[in-house]
Chains A and B, each alone.
Chain A
């Protein structure tokens, strides 16, 4: 592999390393990421929404279930964290746990109702149930702020192992968020490498064969759904701390659509794809909307081009072209 390969294999060898040490490679990239992005707040957005897309990808890319309701998990994670902090005075770490737990619970309920359907029906049921969550939070105005959104998720400083860090400093904030995202990425990788991860892919490839092999397909799907919701919930909780507000739009179905776009753009079913997708999508939006008011047109054109010519997404196509065989 090292000596006899043709010259073009340098790229292949590199991608081989990246694929083998995917956690280290992803983290290494994310540590340096703020240096190449126009500003830290955008880097933090990409980080958090990348995690959201990662969680979504567990269901979409690895299990083969297209959900149109993942905004419900991002949103309940964000509101859970925000409400715990604003109304109940919980510390920031506890608030993140509460947000993630709430999203997991919501995912368990929605998953229980939705996994009995398949294909387009699954997408429709998740969409409908997530809109129920949207209206539930919308109506709980005293807690959630309703239409106006939840404000005041304010952290001036956070205590970590006895150190007081200024959370208003954008660089500090990014790396605190990255600590959580890093742990999540590591967990995610462990999960995929486990026998359970293999069952997920078996279900995606052929549900009947997986069932014939003796796996409980329904239970596997439900567990995947709940875990996916938990990752998205963590992303939501981090987003609430990052922006210091929770807009009601977080729960809207357009947010569910956004994550589908990110996963497709980056490459569904690839480990690093969701981050590539989130970065491409948000960077394009950000840069183009400063240059022109017709940015939506250009983002749309780019998306169409990718779907037409690179159906496996940016990272997926790179792996196809240069990746380890």
Chain B
């Protein structure tokens, strides 16, 4: 069989081999040029697709894909298209660190955007900053911008507890009264929120009647609520999140607390409100975004329309919108820097003055916190345009660096 197939002479084989070698030798350079132009700009996107925040995380992915699509439809950057690499971090910092290592070491991502928990973003940040990869966080945390955790590769697109609680506090204390009680979930998020409210209230002369702590995941608030009710506060601030918030608001309503006291939450989630239903009536809280902003802000309208078109008419949630802004900022910086080189993209991001979806924003120089507006929302049950129209925008606190903690306070030099 071998002999039959061997009419080719040794010489021919040598010639063929030589030719192949020549092509191979010339090949790599040609091939590399072709590849360099086509190589996608990879953005790693670790979010908790499974777990209690799965709804928000899926919304973040949908919104981020719109930013990628818009970038690619506009021709990309010198022919290079953007690509989103979504990973499930399971809301677990250890898994997030592993996935971040995978994205950096195996997939060689250019940038990282994502996360939906304080601990997870700090974990991603630590892994990314050691390896010199830009990370734009889209979830709330005070710690990530402090000098201890921060690096020049760290950007923070989301609000943080200090600004959110501050804005809500300034609005609520001036409007509803100065006698305040807190009901706080006993963990970092709750503590940071209380700190923010107290800071905002200091100058306004508020009187703190009680700061009641409850364990995370408590299902029965009857031990706390009568005590608070007896103090007759003007404002009850619920510094808890997700299911705790829904349950405690429900029980406060049943206790009749709403007759004497205004209920206030630092963050009102669009998804939690839709799940929580009627008990939210009249509750006031803060948010980074609400879709009805489109009535006033042109960029919100444009973003909502793009999101509706891609997702069968659904409107984006607050955290979802952050996925869009986080990715769009990075891609806009690539276009502005005319490069994907990390240092040049950092410079471009620091120089950005942008309005992607909610009005003007920019990153503060010393800690890369996105300076942006805070929405004060009130939950409503009348005059709803449709099933998604669950809040009215009571006030908008315009972007103002003075409302953030100072750079010196966060441990930065400048």
Q: Name B130's contact: one of A141, A244, A247, A290 (CB within 8 Å).
A: A244
- B215 to chain A minimum Cβ distance, whole angstroms, is 11
Please report which residues of chain B, range 140-161, place their CB below 8 angstroms from some CB of chain A when the two chains form the complex: 141, 143, 148-149
Whether, in the assembled complex, B101 has its beta carbon less than 8 Å from a beta carbon of chain A, the answer is yes
Most buried by B among A154, A170, A245, A290: A245
Q: Is the CB of A147 within 8 A of B127?
A: no
Q: Name A38's contact: one of B88, B90, B106, B131 (CB within 8 Å).
A: B106
Given contacts A147-B118, A148-B118, A289-B50, contact A245 B130 (CB under 8 A): no
The docked-state distance in angstroms from the alpha carbon of A151 to that of B146 is 13
Whether, in the assembled complex, B123 has its beta carbon less than 8 Å from a beta carbon of chain A, the answer is yes
Q: Is the CB of B188 within 8 A of A147?
A: yes
- A12 to chain B minimum Cβ distance, whole angstroms, is 37
Whether, in the assembled complex, A117 has its beta carbon less than 8 Å from a beta carbon of chain B, the answer is no
Given contacts A41-B105, A42-B102, A296-B50, contact A247 B93 (CB under 8 A): yes
The docked-state distance in angstroms from the alpha carbon of A42 to that of B94 is 11
Q: Is the CB of B98 within 8 A of A45?
A: yes
The docked-state distance in angstroms from the alpha carbon of A168 to that of B128 is 11
The docked-state distance in angstroms from the alpha carbon of A289 to that of B97 is 15
- A281 to chain B minimum Cβ distance, whole angstroms, is 13
Q: Is the CB of A289 within 8 A of B118?
A: no
Instruction: List A contacts of B253 (CB < 8 A).
Output: none
- Interface code A224-250, partner B: CB below 8 Å = 1, 0 otherwise? 000000000000000100011101111
- Interface code A155-178, partner B: CB below 8 Å = 1, 0 otherwise? 010000000000010100000000
The docked-state distance in angstroms from the alpha carbon of A45 to that of B98 is 8
Whether, in the assembled complex, B392 has its beta carbon less than 8 Å from a beta carbon of chain A, the answer is no
Q: Is the CB of A152 within 8 A of B119?
A: no
Q: Name A289's contact: one of B90, B126, B149, B189 (CB within 8 Å).
A: B90
The docked-state distance in angstroms from the alpha carbon of A42 to that of B130 is 19
Whether, in the assembled complex, B345 has its beta carbon less than 8 Å from a beta carbon of chain A, the answer is no
Instruction: List A contacts of B49 (CB < 8 A).
Output: 289, 293
- Interface code B80-94, partner A: CB below 8 Å = 1, 0 otherwise? 000000011010111
Q: Name B106's contact: one of A39, A154, A249 (CB within 8 Å).
A: A39
The docked-state distance in angstroms from the alpha carbon of A148 to that of B149 is 11
The docked-state distance in angstroms from the alpha carbon of A250 to that of B141 is 21
Instruction: List A contacts of B127 (CB < 8 A).
Output: 243-245
Instruction: List B contacts of A39 (CB < 8 A).
Output: 101-102, 105-106
Residue of B nearest to A239 (CB): B94
Whether, in the assembled complex, B236 has its beta carbon less than 8 Å from a beta carbon of chain A, the answer is no
Whether, in the assembled complex, B122 has its beta carbon less than 8 Å from a beta carbon of chain A, the answer is yes
Residue of B nearest to A45 (CB): B98
- B410 to chain A minimum Cβ distance, whole angstroms, is 15
- Interface code A241-264, partner B: CB below 8 Å = 1, 0 otherwise? 001110111100000000000000
- Interface code A281-307, partner B: CB below 8 Å = 1, 0 otherwise? 000000001100101100000000000
Q: Is the CB of A149 within 8 A of B92?
A: no
The docked-state distance in angstroms from the alpha carbon of A293 to that of B54 is 10
Q: Is the CB of A248 within 8 A of B119?
A: yes
How many inter-chain residue pairs (CB < 8 Å) link A and B? 92
Whether, in the assembled complex, A311 has its beta carbon less than 8 Å from a beta carbon of chain B, the answer is no
Q: Is the CB of B131 within 8 A of A247?
A: no
Q: Is the CB of B102 within 8 A of A41?
A: yes
Given contacts A168-B130, A250-B94, A289-B88, contact A245 B102 (CB under 8 A): no
Q: Is the CB of A295 within 8 A of B50?
A: yes
Q: Is the CB of A290 within 8 A of B87?
A: yes
Instruction: List A contacts of B98 (CB < 8 A).
Output: 41-42, 45, 243
Residue of A nearest to B143 (CB): A148
Whether, in the assembled complex, B187 has its beta carbon less than 8 Å from a beta carbon of chain A, the answer is yes
Chain B interface size, as a band, is 20 to 34
Whether, in the assembled complex, A207 has its beta carbon less than 8 Å from a beta carbon of chain B, the answer is no
Q: Is the CB of B102 within 8 A of A293?
A: no
Residue of A nearest to B132 (CB): A168
Instruction: List B contacts of A249 (CB < 8 A).
Output: 92-94
Whether, in the assembled complex, A40 has its beta carbon less than 8 Å from a beta carbon of chain B, the answer is yes
Q: Is the CB of A146 within 8 A of B188?
A: yes
Instruction: List B contacts of A250 (CB < 8 A).
Output: 94
- B106 to chain A minimum Cβ distance, whole angstroms, is 4
Q: Is the CB of A156 within 8 A of B101?
A: no
Instruction: List B contacts of A247 (CB < 8 A).
Output: 92-94, 97, 119, 123
Given contacts A40-B105, A154-B130, A170-B101, contact A245 B122 (CB under 8 A): yes
Q: Is the CB of A243 within 8 A of B187?
A: no
- Interface code B99-113, partner A: CB below 8 Å = 1, 0 otherwise? 001100110000000
The docked-state distance in angstroms from the alpha carbon of A247 to that of B148 is 17
Given contacts A154-B130, A243-B94, A245-B127, contact A148 B105 (CB under 8 A): no
- Interface code A18-53, partner B: CB below 8 Å = 1, 0 otherwise? 000000000000000000001111100100000000
Q: Name A170's contact: one of B92, B93, B105, B189 (CB within 8 Å).
A: B105
Instruction: List A contacts of B92 (CB < 8 A).
Output: 247, 249
Given contacts A249-B94, A296-B50, contact A147 B122 (CB under 8 A): no
Q: Is the CB of B101 within 8 A of A149?
A: no
The docked-state distance in angstroms from the alpha carbon of A290 to that of B97 is 16
Given contacts A154-B130, A247-B92, A295-B50, contact A148 B101 (CB under 8 A): no
The docked-state distance in angstroms from the alpha carbon of A184 to that of B277 is 56
- A136 to chain B minimum Cβ distance, whole angstroms, is 15
Residue of B nearest to A169 (CB): B105
Instruction: List A contacts of B189 (CB < 8 A).
Output: 147
Q: Is the CB of A151 within 8 A of B105?
A: no
- B380 to chain A minimum Cβ distance, whole angstroms, is 33
The docked-state distance in angstroms from the alpha carbon of A243 to that of B123 is 9
Q: Is the CB of B130 within 8 A of A149?
A: no
Please report which residues of chain A, range 103-151, place their CB below 8 angstroms from some CB of chain B when the two chains form the complex: 141, 146-149, 151
Q: Provide a sorted-by-A list of 9 A–B residue pairs whose CB atoms are within 8 angstroms.
A: A38-B102, A42-B98, A147-B118, A149-B123, A151-B149, A244-B97, A245-B97, A245-B126, A290-B87
Residue ranges of A at the interface with B (Cβ–Cβ < 8 Å): 38-42, 45, 141, 146-149, 151-152, 154, 156, 168, 170, 239, 243-245, 247-250, 289-290, 293, 295-296
Closest 10 interchain pairs by CB?
A41-B101, A247-B93, A147-B188, A39-B106, A243-B97, A151-B126, A289-B88, A245-B123, A170-B105, A39-B102
Question: Given known contacts A148-B119, A156-B130, what 4 new A-B pairs fall within 8 Å (CB)?
Answer: A147-B188, A151-B122, A244-B97, A295-B50
